[in-house]
Chains A and B, each alone.
Chain A
């Protein structure tokens, strides 16, 4: 039973063409996160939502935006993908802020051509 679902699993987009990645959860967790993981690198937090409150990491490029229309869904929008944005994008959830393990989705691998 997948609890954090990311769609699609693989996404190919053209350089500069806006793309949206989707994440949904059935856990009713308050917090949803988006991580970017490039090859052989650690996952890097882009931003998170605590309920409807959006928290952007200081070094997240403006090219990356997020929306959370309701508790279950969270979207990652890349306004103008560059070749350097090719990566695995991981969505994660947690019940609350604090020392609580995350539940991750399977990720979306983005290729920019």
Chain B
């Protein structure tokens, strides 16, 4: 039972344009969300997070938006750069425990 879903397995974007990666979740008890970035042959690295008390968090070129009513979050990368090409995982955590639930990832390719 996949509680965190990333329905787009891949995305291609031109360099300089905006990349939008989407994530949906089913558990309304989730209250903390993260995005991880993963290059081939490396472990995931933390990118940006958002708590359920916010609807937006920004860090440089990366912005995460949270829509609690829709149980949806998105990661915006502006402007996209070739070095952003990686697999992006969305993860969610609830107050009941420490486990993060991961999505299946979206592979982003930024075309120079």
Contact = CB atoms under 8 A, between A and B. Distances in A.
Interface of A: 4, 6, 9, 31, 40-45, 48, 57, 90-92, 94, 97-99, 101-107
Contact of B2 (A42, A48, A90, A103): A42
A104 B99 contact: no
Contacts of B41: 9, 106
Given A99-B93, A103-B46, 12 more contacts: A9-B41, A40-B104, A42-B2, A42-B102, A45-B99, A48-B98, A92-B43, A97-B98, A99-B32, A104-B45, A105-B43, A106-B41
B65 interface: no
Nearest to A88: B43
Interface string B11-38: 0000000000000000000011010100
Q: Which 5 A-B pairs have the closest CB atoms?
A: A104-B43, A42-B102, A99-B32, A101-B46, A97-B98
A101 B49 contact: yes
A57 B98 CA distance: 11
Nearest to B104: A42
Nearest to A37: B102
B89 interface: yes
Interface of B: 2, 4, 9, 31-32, 34, 36, 41-46, 49, 51, 89, 93, 98-105
Q: Most A CB atoms within 10 A — which of B4, B32, B45, B99?
A: B99
A68 B97 CA distance: 21
Contacts of A101: 34, 46, 49
A42 B42 contact: no
B9 A40 contact: yes
A107 B36 CA distance: 15
B44 A90 contact: yes
A92 B101 CA distance: 14
Nearest to B33: A99
25 contacts: A31-B98, A40-B9, A40-B104, A42-B2, A42-B101, A42-B102, A42-B103, A43-B44, A43-B89, A43-B102, A45-B100, A48-B98, A90-B43, A91-B43, A94-B98, A99-B49, A101-B34, A101-B49, A104-B43, A104-B44, A105-B43, A106-B41, A106-B43, A107-B42, A107-B43
